[in-house]
Amino acid sequence: MPYFVYKITQPTPIVKNLKFEKEFEEFKDAKQFSRDMRAELPLNGGITIKMIHAANQLQAEELLMEKREETVTMEWEK
């Protein structure tokens, strides 16, 4: 399964914009590409770079658009 790299902007809590950047077969290459892109981003720019492992581009976008529940931090974990 390939690795997909996306640039994500989220202008509002409801809207999430995904921009496909590149597809990789090797984890190492995708990781390095993601790191290089993050290094070029301005601080507090509101842009996130995500790498995801999926069967195809459609599945990758579905996984990135999924609303995930926030983890509950227990008292002893603080």
- In the chain (78 residues long), the average pLDDT of successive 10-residue segments reads 95 89 96 95 87 96 86 77
- Tell me, yes or no, whether 18 lies in a domain: yes
- Residues in Cβ contact with 10 at an 8 Å cutoff, skipping those fewer than 6 apart: 16, 17, 46, 48
In a domain, 42, yes or no: yes
Looking at residue 67, its pLDDT comes to: 80
* Domains contained in the chain, number: 1
Domain containing 61: what range?
3-66
Is position 76 within any domain? no
In a domain, residue 15? The reply is: yes
Name the phi and psi angles at 22, rounded to 5. Answer: -165, 155
